[in-house]
Structure 1
């Protein structure tokens, strides 16, 4: 890794596009990621306003001996920062944000850092929606390139499979269109390996005809966790693929900005989407309602409202996360989960979440890319608030305790978009896929000018 003189970096990059260098008044704000606990300090932050500026930036950075790292809305920064950024230009694509919908073709074209909130807002007036995740503030393209676990995932599979075409600036500064017939190998690799291959400036996706859905959440005090977790685990074993849900144990601090029913409380929350008519959905939800939740919002809601069901933070927050993939949750697994998170425990984890997978998420797509399905029955995600270094260390240890407790049911795989830390690519792609990805990267980035959250091939010396 090379550390360049700031004057050299400034000379190479100034005038190409909006540039923020260490010492500039706007540098600290520009380098700030979504996870405020990550202190990334790149050689520069670039904010191109056009595709041509992206191309010019890539060429100028290469000429100066700098690498480039795409970062749309700032998610996933912990893994990126682990690589060291002294010779890296972080490319923030917030200057490229637009979505256009073709209601007849049921497609949307998305630019740069466009968020899922924007995409669904434009799609829903046409009775359409996208295979979005749980947060309206996540940039759609980064999510898509990492697979994408959708609120409709058990019915429709990974969101990456909805990609129809991708416009990408590769390491040589060229703008290429990749789809099933043009640069097909690049199209295959981008759907899973994303930023390893280029800076995606636009993508076209399939939309689904879904004007509304039966969706919502139920909430109990954590003292009811033994019954709720056991019932939810049993309930998910035989659910039709029309239901995608998650369970969270949440510990909220006493904070005035939180609603009174959340502030200072330890809770169990089940949320999800049921793609059935209201009568069928009501019948499916009956085992959970029998536990008498203190709050139950499940109802038919507009597609745009599904983005708010999971209650993800609308603004950047400081946090420490960890993730594991799990197999079936039988009684012993439920007992282990409750042993670290049930009533009376003090794990230090703010949120421990189980997302139900399987269904179409587990079936490889015939025309899919490098990541077209995920194994496993559940994804485990742990998050601890980390406003300072001491809290970060405690949160990291607390999350590790939960992951360790579930080790007997853990699979040797990870989902890229859920993985905060830099991880071995063998946990995300099998041997044959990694070899093919390496070959595609050798073609389009032989000098390893591109830096991704999760590299899929060894760096060049």
Structure 2
């Protein structure tokens, strides 16, 4: 007797060794949940492949069933899917497709599609190497790098997307394609900053950096010192060389027993990052900030692998909402607006309002780069609120938007895909390159199989 599937997604149930979960299945809720717990994804099915071949099987079966395919690795940046209907889509979760192979002679790594940065850093460290990783150890390499990738090595070495040598991607017809500067160059160009409309990325090959150790750490003050610290940091960033990449955050922590005492219940100003200089030169460059008398100063020579812990990003999945903007400059008036929004006396619900210093190699177009090879702006503003309840989420969205609105006079209008909690209009961000992006999409996915967080329509 032949059983007729009750829904198109039933046709996928036996794929991936049975690791396809449909609504009502015992494993569905766990499989559909991203790292950002505030995002309630409800796809037609969730597939958890362990190989590129299994990814290809899922893509072919989904297309044949009239379903779309939404790729996702860790789900840190799942926010845009809050505004997308996934009812006709198969969510392809790559978090179990992991692995790293390091070639120390070539200073490269091949990374499978769901691999986290902490695993790449750990694999590279015994060879005296590291990568253009982000500030959090458990962010997946693929989404971060293909979205641009802002690193504490960035002002010296540029966006992480520029470190890519090859991208292995399953296309809409279920073919595995290796895109490089020489093979499928248009696809290689589009993948680096063009959103997820071109396929499921199952592996990346990237250049590594020759750093066994780095001078890095943080400086911490009470938030009451913000009117002194923030303008001093802003002035300092206008003078430091490209070897220095830092961020400044005004942070507010709830009184939780699992937080260390220097954070629990505190409102703080924190400057952190890396200085790619010898110890004496690094100390010379940091002297103006140290002269402000921070209550904590951890800047020192550390193993390069330790840089992923400097930013104190949450170590486990959490519910969060966010907003962001890119600033062309940070004059005194902008500093005053920032302090008015999140400084002493403000009642914002934000966990943090962060200013990341851009410029240097981050601001220069990279030779042979992809659609996003640099960022036009001097600072990135990133505002995040913890959202354990719908009411907290609504307040966090409003407060993050208000902080960004306070800085509107200095914004560039562009976006950092890694920071965007809503779908980005790529036609605006890539205005002079968007038609080329559309042509690539039409060539590799003419039927529109792939559902991206930041789509090319």
Distance 1:64 1:426 in 2: 30
Question: Which residue of structure 2 lines up, in the alignment, with residue 439 of structure 1?
Answer: 439
Matched residue, 1:260? 261
SS of corresponding position for 1:129? coil
Residue 424 (structure 1) shift: 1.4
Structure-1 residue corresponding to 2:95: 94
- 2:342: which partner in 1? 341
Deviates more, 1:191-200 or 1:143-152: 191-200
- What is the aligned partner in structure 2 of residue 123 from structure 1? 124
Take 1:247 and 1:427, find their aligned partners in 2: how far apart are those partners? 28
C-alpha contact (below 8 Å) 2:195/2:454 kept by paired residues:
no
Q: Cα distance, 1:427 vs. partner?
A: 4.1
Cα deviation digits, residues 142-174 of structure 1 (max 9, x gap): 111111111100000000000001111001100
Q: How does 1:132-147 map to 2 (within 5 A)?
A: 132-147=133-148
Give distance in 2, aligned partners of 1:144 and 1:427. 21
Per the alignment, residue 450 of structure 1 pairs with 450
Trace 1:161-172 onto structure 2 (pairs within 5 A).
161-172=162-173
Indicate conservation of the 8 Å contact 2:79/2:321, yes or no.
no
Once residues 167 and 411 of structure 2 are traced to their aligned partners in structure 1, the CA distance between those partners, rounded to angstroms, is: 34
Unaligned 5+ runs, structure 2? none
In the TM superposition, residue 341 of structure 1 has moved relative to its aligned partner by 1.2
1:335 counterpart SS class: helix
Report the alpha carbon displacement of residue 428 of structure 1 after superposing the two structures with TM: 2.6
**Matched ranges for 1:380-395 at <5 A:** 380-395=381-396
Secondary structure in structure 2 of the residue aligned to 1:232: helix
String of CA shifts for 1:110-135, please: whole Å, max 9, x gaps.
00110100000000110110000101
Q: Is the contact made by 1:50 and 1:95 (CA closer than 8 Å) also made in structure 2? A: no
Is the CA contact 1:152–1:244 (under 8 Å) kept in the aligned structure 2? yes
In the TM superposition, what is the alpha-carbon distance from 1:373 to its structure 2 partner? Answer: 0.4
Q: Spell out, residue by residue over 1:250-279, the C-alpha distance to the aligned partner (whole angstroms, 9 max, x if none).
A: 000011111111111100000010000000
CA distance in 1, matches of 2:61, 2:346: 54
1:150 aligned partner: 151
CA–CA distance in structure 2, aligned partners of residues 318 and 196 of structure 1: 26
Alpha-carbon offset, residue 411 of structure 1: 1.0
SS at match of 2:196: helix
1:426 Cα deviation from its structure 2 partner: 3.3
Partner residue in 1 for 2:182: 181
Hey, what's the Cα distance between the residues in 1 that align with 2:289 and 2:28?
49
CA distance in 2, matches of 1:37, 1:46: 21
Aligned to 1:11: 10
Q: 1-side partners of 2:195 and 2:321: how far apart?
A: 23
Distance (Å, rounded) in 2 between the aligned partners of 1:448 and 1:215: 45
Q: Is the CA contact 1:414–1:427 (under 8 Å) kept in the aligned structure 2? A: no
Give a deviation string over 1:199-248, Cα, whole Å, max 9, x none. Answer: 01011000010111100001000000011001000000011000000000
SS in 1 for 2:388: coil
After TM superposition, list the pairs within 5 Å mapping 1:229-248 onto structure 2: 229-248=230-249
In the alignment, is the contact (CA less than 8 A) between 2:195 and 2:455 conserved in 1? no
Q: Are the counterparts in 2 of residues 213 and 301 from structure 1 also a CA contact under 8 Å?
A: yes
Q: Give yes or no for contact 2:5–2:11 (8 Å, CA) kept in 1.
A: no
Secondary structure, aligned partner of 2:219:
strand
Kindly provide the CA deviation profile for residues 386-406 of structure 1, in whole angstroms up to 9, marking residues without a partner as x: 100011111111111101111
Task: Output the CA distance in 2 between the equivalents of 1:399 and 1:216.
Answer: 26
Contact kept? 1:349, 1:382, Cα under 8 Å: yes
Partner Cα distance (2:340, 2:75) in 1: 34
Task: Write out aligned runs for 1:13-52 (5 A).
Answer: 13-17=12-16, 18-52=19-53
Distance 1:219 1:427, change over 3 A: farther
Partner of 2:419: 418
Q: Secondary structure at the match of 1:324?
A: strand
Name 2:376's counterpart in structure 1.
Answer: 375
The answer on whether the counterparts of 1:363 and 1:373 sit within 8 Å (CA) in structure 2 is: yes
Q: Deviations over 1:12-52 (max 9, x none)?
A: 10111110110001111111011111111011100011111
Q: Decide whether the 8 Å contact of 2:112 with 2:204 is kept in 1.
A: yes
Structure 1 outlier segments of 4+, above 3 Å: none
Q: 1:10 to 1:86 in 2, by over 3 A?
A: closer
Secondary structure of 2:203's counterpart equals strand
- Native 8 Å contact 1:416 1:428 kept in 2: no
Aligned residues: 452
Return the offset for 1:7: 2.3
State the distance in 2 between where 1:28 and 1:9 align: 19
Distance change in 2, residues 1:308/1:170 (3 Å): same
